[in-house]
Amino acid sequence: MFFKSIKKILLSVSVIYIVVGCLLLIDGSACVEFVVSLLGYGLGIAGIIEIIRYFVTKIDERYKRNDFILGVVLLAVAIIILLCKYTLSDIVAVSFGVAIIVSGALKIQDTLDAKKIGKSHIKTYMILVFICIALGALVIINYFYILDYRLLYISAGIGMLFSGITDMVSNLYLAYAKTKYEKNKAVEEKKDDIVEDSNEE
């Protein structure tokens, strides 16, 4: 029951945040270049798959689909990304700041979810929200106004690491709290049914 309550996608995203955060702290520029390359190759592979899918699809079904066009577009975007890898690295670095802010915003939803199941902890969650947004803003401000790449990668690394760890802890806590809440609710409903049955007798 506990494992069913865990939002597996969010947990996976938390792990990605933690891994990227560690890589940024170890070697920020190499990490950013790796992410850009991964995106480029990923889109390239997706484009090739779409083109192949077009040719293996039956002729009467091709008219209903745009696999070939989509494949060509994805392949073109992949080539542009790989050719402009170093230029796009700056954009990716800024996107880490946006990702950290998004993580902070999602913690507001965690606050509301916790409140629904009787576990408020509003102050704790709001502190985490504030820290995430501040770290994300630091990355963006640094890029546009300070442009110290060492500080950029360090702040992005700390922000991603902090966001990933706090998101993971929050997801696991909410999954545990939800499981406990559902068990207590089931027990209460069972008690009510017993009381109703005894009253009818």
pLDDT digits (tens, 9 = 90+) for 64-92: 677 788 889 999 999 988 888 777 777 88
pLDDT above 70 (res 191): no
- pLDDT grade, residue 61 (50/70/90)? low
pLDDT above 90 (res 12): no
The pTM of the whole model exceeds 0.75: no
Are residues 184 and 117 in contact, defined by beta-carbon separation less than 8 angstroms? no
Tokens encoding 173: 């806590």
Q: Residue 201: exposed, middle, or buried by beta-carbon count in 10 A (0-12, 13-18, 19+)?
A: exposed
pLDDT above 80 (res 42): yes
Tokens encoding 104: 């902070």
DSSP 64: T
Q: What are phi and psi of 57, to 5 degrees?
A: -75, 145
Residues 130-187 pLDDT 10s: 999 999 998 888 888 767 778 888 888 999 999 999 988 888 887 777 777 777 666 6
pLDDT above 90 (res 4): no
CA–CA distance, 193 with 5 (Å, rounded to integer): 26
Are residues 164 and 12 in contact, defined by beta-carbon separation less than 8 angstroms? no
- pLDDT grade, residue 41 (50/70/90)? very high
Residues 87-133 pLDDT 10s: 777 788 788 899 999 888 888 887 777 777 766 677 887 888 899 99
- The reported pLDDT for the residue numbered 108 is 82
Other C-beta atoms lying within 10 Å of the C-beta of residue 149: 16
CA–CA distance, 150 with 32 (Å, rounded to integer): 13
CA atoms within 13 A on the CB side of 47: 16
